[in-house]
Amino acid sequence: MKSKLTIEEYLERVGRGRNSSFGRQYRSQFRDRRGTAELGMLAAPSEEEFADFCSAVTVMTQREKAEVETLTDVQIAEIAERCGGDSGNIGIFLNGYVLACREATETGK
């Protein structure tokens, strides 16, 4: 995937919304019965979610970072295992990154 946006830059962008009052309000609007808000995860991650994202980026190989859009569920689970993070959260983060790269490519940003 060719993009001007690196995974580290995307991680920084996602991290800006953590622990903000706006982020807590935003997430509260999307809570499910368990009190989670997956739809708001990338807009306002919790500290735990953001820690999972950071750990995943840290343990990813250069090849995995360069080919995020081709990672399988098994490979994402392996990344989660290597970093001790939640594979579902990491999958959401990586899918969000792929979508952000596509948007950046389409809009020229």
Percent of the chain with pLDDT over 70: 80
- pLDDT value of residue 20: 76
Per-residue pLDDT tens over the stretch 11-61: 999 998 887 777 777 666 666 555 555 656 787 888 888 999 999 999 999
User: Residue 2 domain-assigned?
Assistant: no
Q: Calculate mean pLDDT across residues 63-73.
A: 95
Question: For position 31, what pLDDT does the model report?
Answer: 61
User: Which amino acid belongs to residue 61?
Assistant: T
pLDDT over 80 at 5, yes or no: yes
Q: What is the domain-level CATH number for residue 43? A: 1.10.260
The contacts of residue 65 (CB under 8 Å, 6+ apart) are: 6, 7, 57
Let me know if residue 1 belongs to a domain.
no
What is the distance between the alpha carbons of residues 13 and 97, in angstroms, rounded to a whole number? 10
What is the number of domains present in the chain?
Answer: 1
Q: Is residue 82 part of a domain?
A: yes
